[in-house]
């Protein structure tokens, strides 16, 4: 049976900590797990995953849980929506309990610091399932799907339209590691975090990735190979929904915008608000790969768990 390697870090908190080779290792492992899903069903037999979620979830919760089942392991879900990590019990104490019971933790939190602190105090792997700052598993799944469609993503152009949020940050990091050119187009004042931009530009010098920050959607989409969008108001920003709807209206991805691309693919991390950030025509169009991406969350996250938990594997 295939030997699986090991990622060089204990945890996966950010794509920024990975090299381009690390990302390719995740992709190669995901591809094999996807192709041999029925056969490779005992790779994490006896292993246990703790899932700590402060936010609602469909894709992240199902794919991590099913992923563990696929590989012979078990997942335990802890719903912390009403009591955030660290409010009832210190994060370091939560970490020191969990490491006695399980083999890995995936945490989906508001504050990024909560996941970082969990990892710092845990001897077992911690996976960032989403924070307000980053969404690494999503972006890795996005780019894995692009490799399925295109083969090599190096030199291709991805255009992100909308809010410079957690998903946007992780897409920027992934593009910089893989040599993909990325354009981020947001309303003024909603650009991605300056630290992310600076780190990605440094990484991009090695990979050949170009990062552009723009405010004009039509210019940003001209000749691009793929267009990505996300909700205009993320979880925790419910009080900004109406204000953002007005500011972002001209950033809707519609048929007219997609017509400016080079037969571009359409991407979305979901859930999508049809009629807001994207029209139903684009969402359901022949170039939409949103559900391929959703499927691949399962395979990419299985690869991450295996490479963190199983070492050399068998």
HEC string for 203-267: HHHHHCCCEEEECCHHHHHCCCCEEEECCCCCCCCHHHHHHHHHHCHHHCECHHHHCCCCCCEEE
- Which one of 59, 80, 108, 268 is the catalytic residue? 108
Asked whether 228 and 171 are in contact (CB, 8 A), the reply is: yes
Q: Mark whether 138 is an active-site residue.
A: yes
- Encoded tokens for 176: 């910089």
Q: Mark whether 113 is an active-site residue.
A: no
Q: What's the pLDDT score for residue 1? A: 46
Domain ranges (residues) in the chain: 15-135+297-309, 138-293
Q: What's the pLDDT score for residue 80? A: 73
pLDDT at 314 over 60: no
Q: Mark whether 269 is an active-site residue.
A: yes
CB proximity list for 28: less than 8 A, separation 6 or greater:
none
| List of E strands, 48-156 | 48-53, 74-79, 104-108, 126-130
- Which one of 61, 169, 276, 297 is the catalytic residue? 297
The dotted CATH code for 15-135+297-309 is 3.40.50.1370
| List of E strands, the chain | 48-53, 74-79, 104-108, 126-130, 157-161, 181-185, 211-214, 226-229, 265-268
Q: What's the pLDDT score for residue 312? A: 40
- Which one of 80, 135, 268, 299 is the catalytic residue? 135
Asked whether 230 and 253 are in contact (CB, 8 A), the reply is: no
Give yes or no on whether 15-135+297-309 and 138-293 have one common fold: yes
pLDDT at 313 over 50: no
Q: Return d(Cα 153, Cα 145) in angstroms, integer.
A: 10
Could you report the per-residue pLDDT of 7-65, keeping only the tens digit for each? 999 999 999 999 999 999 999 999 999 999 999 999 999 999 999 999 989 999 999 99
Q: Mark whether 82 is an active-site residue.
A: no
- Which one of 269, 276, 299, 301 is the catalytic residue? 269
- Which one of 11, 103, 132, 230 is the catalytic residue? 230
The pLDDT confidence band at residue 311, using thresholds 50, 70 and 90, is: low
**Cα–Cα nearest to 150, from 313, 310, 263:** 263
Q: Looking at the domain 138-293, which fold is it?
A: Rossmann fold (3.40.50)
DSSP 89: S
**Cα–Cα nearest to 190, from 277, 81, 108, 282:** 277
Q: Mark whether 276 is an active-site residue.
A: no
Q: Mark whether 205 is an active-site residue.
A: no
Asked whether 125 and 117 are in contact (CB, 8 A), the reply is: no
The pLDDT confidence band at residue 237, using thresholds 50, 70 and 90, is: low
Could you report the per-residue pLDDT of 70-126, keeping only the tens digit for each? 999 999 998 876 667 888 889 999 999 999 999 999 999 999 999 999 999 999 999
Could you report the per-residue pLDDT of 145-203, keeping only the tens digit for each? 999 999 999 999 999 999 999 999 999 999 999 999 999 999 999 999 999 999 999 99
């Amino acid at each position: 049976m295939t030997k699986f390697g090991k990622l060089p870090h204990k945890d996966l908190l950010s794509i920024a900590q990975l090299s381009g080779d690390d990302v390719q290792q995740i992709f190669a492992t995901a591809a094999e797990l996807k192709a041999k899903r029925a056969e490779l069903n005992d790779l994490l037999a006896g292993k246990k995953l703790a899932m700590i979620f402060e936010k609602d979830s469909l894709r992240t919760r199902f794919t991590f849980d099913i992923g563990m089942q696929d590989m012979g392991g078990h997942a335990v879900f802890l719903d912390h929506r009403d009591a955030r990590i660290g409010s009832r019990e210190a994060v370091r104490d939560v970490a020191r309990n969990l490491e006695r019971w399980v083999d890995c933790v995936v945490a989906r939190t508001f504050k990024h610091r909560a996941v970082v602190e969990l990892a710092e105090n845990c001897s077992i792997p911690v996976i960032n399932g989403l924070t307000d700052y980053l969404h690494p598993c999503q972006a890795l799944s996005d780019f894995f799907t692009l490799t399925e469609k295109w083969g090599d993503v190096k030199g291709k152009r991805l255009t992100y339209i909308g809010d410079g949020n957690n998903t946007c940050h992780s897409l920027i990091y992934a593009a910089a590691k893989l040599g993909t050119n990325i354009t981020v187009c947001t309303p003024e004042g909603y650009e991605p975090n300056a630290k992310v931009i600076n780190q990605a530009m440094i990484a991009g010098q090695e990979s050949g990735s170009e990062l552009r920050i723009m405010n004009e959607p039509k210019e940003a989409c001209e000749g691009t190979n793929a267009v990505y969008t996300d909700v205009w108001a993320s979880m925790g920003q419910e009080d900004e929904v109406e204000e953002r709807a007005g500011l972002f209206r001209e950033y809707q991805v519609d048929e007219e915008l997609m017509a400016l691309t080079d037969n571009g693919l359409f991407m979305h991390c979901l859930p999508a608000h049809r009629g807001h950030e994207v029209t139903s025509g684009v969402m359901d169009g022949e170039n939409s790969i949103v559900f391929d991406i959703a499927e691949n969350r399962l395979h990419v996250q299985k690869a991450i768990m295996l490479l963190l938990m199983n070492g050399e594997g068998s």
